[in-house]
Structure 1
């Protein structure tokens, strides 16, 4: 499994637009075989940073999602919404692999 971590810099006056954008993407990621873990909006601290996390079974599955989403009308509508509203100033994307250990199998560290 691969998890995409997206860190957004937002226009702090357009948080509600970004929230609407995020609500568009959650079902779209699921539609293309991913598991969306949600968008995390500013609450305390910086007022212009948000995060999104979603996973795919593999990097290849994520790459296929990226290709397929370019042709999907609902995905294009979401992209266009972000461009029109200018709610996103910038973003960075990182890929991580989760550690989902079974606590009953903690290795003996000496």
Structure 2
């Protein structure tokens, strides 16, 4: 399994738009075989940072998602929404291999 960690710098006056953008991806990700672990919005500390995490069974599955999603009209709508609303300034993407508890 591979987990993608996203760190967004969100415009403080655009959190409602960012939440709408995140809701789009919460619905889109499973369509491509991914598991979305959610968006994490500021509560304490930095007020312009939001996080998101999603997983795929392998790096190859993630790469296939990138190819397939590039052709999806709903993904294009989500990308256009982010571009048009300018709800975030930038994002960073990192990949991790999770260590999870053994199944009982």
TM-score interval for Structure 1 and Structure 2 normalised by the shorter chain: over 0.9
Equivalent residue pairs, number: 104
**Cα drift, residue 102 of structure 1:** 2.9
* Structure 2: distance between partners of 1:12 and 1:43: 13
Residue 61 of structure 1 is matched in structure 2 by 61
The residue aligned with 2:101 is: 101
The CA deviation at 1:103 is 9.0
Q: Matched residues in 2 for 1:93 and 1:79: separation?
A: 16
- TM-score w.r.t. the length of structure 1 is 0.91
Rounded to whole Å, the distance in 1 between the matches of 2:5 and 2:103 is 25
Match in the other structure for 1:52:
52
Q: Structure 1 stretches (4+) deviating beyond 6 angstroms?
A: none
Root-mean-square deviation over aligned CA pairs: 1.3
Q: Tell me the secondary structure at the aligned position of residue 52 of structure 1.
A: strand
Structure 2 unaligned segments of length 5 or more: list them: none
- Output the TM-score relative to the length of structure 2: 0.96
Structure 1: segments with no counterpart, 5+ residues: 105-110
